[in-house]
Each structure stands twice: as C-alpha cells, then as structure tokens.
Homo-oligomer: A and B are copies of this chain.
Amino acid sequence: MKSKKIQGIIPPMVTPLENQDELDIEGLEKLIEHIINGGVHGLFVLGTTGEAQSLSYHLRYTLVDLAIKIVNGRIPVLAGVSDTSFVESLNFAKHAYHCGASAVVSTPPYYYTPNQKELINYFIAFADNSPLPLFLYNMPSHVKVNLDVETVVNLSMHENIIGLKDSSGNLLYFQEVVQALKKVEDFSILIGPEEMLMQSILTGGHGGVIGGANMFPKLYVEMYGASVNRDLDRMNILQEKILKICSNIYSIGNSGGGYLPGLKAALCHLGICKNVLALPYSAFGENEIREIQRKLDSMDLEEWI
C-alpha cells in the first residue's frame, strides 16, 4: 500500500553555503523557518534548485540530516538522490531513510543515456531496494532523456513509486501523463516551472515544486489554493505577480545556471542566507545584485514573503 499522497506546494530548497564545501547553517535554519511559515505542504532538499549535483557527498549527507532535524516533523521532507551511480543513489536513499525523510526523488542517471527499457529496469531495481518511496523526476533539459508517458505508466504500478515531478515545461506531456494516470490512486503529479502552476492544476495536476517558494512561499501556497478552488479571478491576480518574479529576478545576467544566481542573490537581499554558489556557478557581482535589489523593492511583494 502506498503512503499518503504528497501534494501541494513543495519548494525545492536552495542550499545555503558558506563556501564550496561548507553549509551556511544559520542560513539553512532561517530558510527552513521562512518556508514553513509560508504554509507549504512539504520540503524538497537537494533538487536542481538545491545545486545537489555540485555538492560533495559529505555535504549532501550532512544537509539531509540537518534539514530534517530543523523541520522536526512539521512537514514531510523529500530528499533528492539523483545520481549517475545506482549504488551511490541507493546508499543515499538509505541515509535519508535513517534521517527520517518521507520520500526520495530521482531523475534518471544523467551521464549515459539509457533507453526507455533501461530506465524502467533502473527505477524498478531502485524502488525494489529503496527503504523510502520514490518520486520520479522528469528533467530532460539536464538529463538528456525524457521519461516517456508509457514509462511513467509502467513505473506507476510499482508500489514503492508514488509520484512524478515533471520539469519538462511541456504541458502537452504533462497533460498526457495526467490522463494516463487518472485511475492510479495515490500517485502524485507535480509541475516544475512555476509559471505553469496554475495551468497544471487546472489540467489535473496535484501541486508544484516551485523554486520561487524559497522567497515567497505564501504567494505560491495561495495560488495552489486558488487553483484547487478554481477561483479564476484570484488566480489571474496571483499569476501576474508570479510572472513578474520570473521576468524580473530569474532573467538577470547570462549564467548557464539561469535563475539560480538571481534566486540566491534575492534570498541574500531578503536577509535569509549567504550569496554563495557552488561551482560551476558563481554569485552575482555588484551590478546584478543592485538590479535584483531594485526590482525586488519595486515589485510590492511584501505580503507574500
């Protein structure tokens, strides 16, 4: 029997850093309190927004442990275990289990490119051995392979696979998955890009893994509620705010990391954590930071911080 469905707003937590191999522990505490105060339904540590792949294993093990202690049972914690190595990924899932995580989240391995049959074998072997239930994580831009709809349907039959986080940005795919899994109970389908949270809920999705909820958790929690209640007028007002965040904060600079340096600079400006990124990315310089500050201050978002 599958565990209780995980849905709603589950922020992919930014990882506060002191330097390349040390956590900003004060920042971590502040960030988790800030997110939980926003009313979110879960916390996802070590996802793409958490720069997981750029961190050492030592740091990743410590982070899961600490984050779960800080959360202290208030909301479920999901741990990202995506790796290129099956053995490392499974070992990390066992660690997360011992720390008290509620589930693990895994992309396909992302150096080699398995075909769909190999993906199915991989995730079934993983789910058979994992002490924690598994969320599939579709992220073709970073992973190179897509989890085909048939693959997701196949894997959804496994009792230890409980959901899909789809960050493809492809609503046609998302909708196909929702249709195909309509009759699978206790399977949760979450969207990645926050610009599509509203449309994904209307399409039948169950929530969102929303980077912006590190900054403005209340905004996305309210959007989730408005979408579930089909309050189109409220949704349109909130969507306006969300799109402004995306166009103002995420599009600054020209890093290959896209929204990441902007997000971390904004959290720093909001007094939440340090502005340090793991290589291959770097913190913004003064000009970009000033631009972030100016835009944040002009967007009239205080009530959702």
Residues of chain A touching chain B, judged by Cβ–Cβ distance below 8 Å, are: 20-21, 48, 51, 53-57, 59, 84-88, 91, 108-115, 118-119, 121-122, 125, 142-145, 169-172, 175-176, 179, 193, 195-196, 198-199, 202-203, 230, 232, 243, 247, 254-257, 278-282
Contacts and interface: CB of A to CB of B under 8 A. Distances in A.
A197 to B, nearest CB: 12
Contacts of A88: 56-57
17 contacts: A20-B86, A20-B87, A21-B87, A53-B85, A54-B111, A55-B85, A56-B87, A59-B87, A86-B280, A109-B279, A110-B111, A111-B142, A114-B280, A115-B254, A171-B196, A199-B203, A232-B232
Contacts of A256: 112-115, 118, 145
A114 B53 contact: no
Given A170-B169, A171-B196, A84 B118 contact: no
A85 B171 contact: no
A177 to B, nearest CB: 12
Contacts of A198: 202
A89 B125 CA distance: 27
